[in-house]
Amino acid sequence: MPKVLTLLEDEVGDVLEKAIRQRGISVAALGEATGVSRQRIQDSLDYRSDLSCNELRRLAGALDLNEVGLCALGCCCYPRADSPKLPFAVHVVAMAHGIGCANAYVVTKTGGDVGVLFDTGPSLSALLESWPKPIAKVEAVFLTHVEGEHTGGLCDVVDYFGISTARVPAAAKAPCGQPMGEGDTWIWSGLKVTAFRTPGHAAAHNCYLVRVDAGGPALLVSGDLLFAGSAGGAFYDKTLQQTHLRRILGLCPDDTVVAPGHGPMTTVQIERRYNPFLV
Ligand SMILES: [Fe+2]
């Protein structure tokens, strides 16, 4: 059975704020269109949400959001996956940054001490503070996008671990990394990492699908394209963000585990059904 998820990256007010910004509608106009009082919408945006499911349904209709997912967020009962059963190990490296938290991930063979790193966090010191102790060596590093909270320490991390393979989204302005574009695949000891170009949050943004030859569920490192119960802000292009959100969730099997740049891990199955930004 799904469990209750309490530490999502975005609350219902954050999702409403992103949707309002993307549609370019004012709070007043939204209130008028839905019959939900402007003050009650504003309270939700200000983290004092008391919106009923009925009100959230009307807001979802006006903002083109998934009403089931929005109501689940509104009652703090957004579902989460049972423990993922992947054919490799995933270590979450959660690092404080400002008032929030950013995730990096280290993937290893089960029981292995050599890792493949996805994103580097704000700095080498932040990464090392939360570093998984069993991992002694890093074979390669992949960046989802170039932002301080995710990639601030790239060159230092490459030097510290002596990493020979550092890949960044094609067209990203990043030192110490080689470009990786749509469909490019890196293979190491049976582990395959395939890049998907997913601009929207940033002009240069990749998601990475991690699989093994032997089969079994895959891992999608989604950066700031997709979060559990939300999506990254569409700061570069809202249409592209929505297009790639649908595309990536369409091409990954249901049992794919999603490892986002912020917030907890989730699955493609849950996000396809409940993510507020997928109607
Ligand atoms: Fe981010």
- C-alpha 11 – ligand 1 centre gap (Å): 16
pTM, two decimals, is 0.94
How, if at all, do strands 137-142 and 114-118 pair? parallel
Q: How far is CA 122 from CA 6, 88, 148, 155, 251, in A?
A: 25, 26, 5, 12, 31
Q: Count other Cβ atoms within 10 Å, centred on residue 27.
A: 17
Residue 99: its pLDDT value, please?
82
- Who contacts 196 (Cβ-Cβ below 8 Å, separation ≥6)? 182, 183, 206, 207, 208, 209, 244, 247, 248, 251
- C-alpha 202 – ligand 1 centre gap (Å): 10
Domain that holds residue 193: 89-274
- C-alpha 199 – ligand 1 centre gap (Å): 14
Query: For residue 102, which amino acid is it?
Result: A
Residue 279 is assigned to a structural domain of this protein = no
Question: Do 93 and 186 lie in a common domain?
Answer: yes
Residue 98: its pLDDT value, please?
84
- C-alpha 99 – ligand 1 centre gap (Å): 12
C-alpha triplet 77, 81, 85: angle, nearest 5°: 170
Of the candidates 93, 158, 95, the one whose C-alpha atom is nearest the C-alpha of residue 126 is 95
pLDDT < 70 regions, the chain: 1-6, 83-84
Dist CA 89 CA 107 (whole Å): 6
- C-alpha 73 – ligand 1 centre gap (Å): 20
- C-alpha 156 – ligand 1 centre gap (Å): 20
For residue 47, the domain's CATH number is 1.10.260.40
- C-alpha 121 – ligand 1 centre gap (Å): 10
Residue 258 is assigned to a structural domain of this protein = yes
Question: Do 49 and 106 lie in a common domain?
Answer: no
- C-alpha 215 – ligand 1 centre gap (Å): 30
- Strands, E assignment, 177-247: 178-180, 185-188, 191-197, 206-212, 219-223, 226-227, 230-231
Dist CA 129 CA 116 (whole Å): 18
Per the structure, the count of domains in the chain is 2
Domain's final residue, options 49, 80, 111? 80
Residue 84: its pLDDT value, please?
67
Question: Do 73 and 96 lie in a common domain?
Answer: no
- C-alpha 235 – ligand 1 centre gap (Å): 11
Query: For residue 271, which amino acid is it?
Result: E
Residue 174 is assigned to a structural domain of this protein = yes
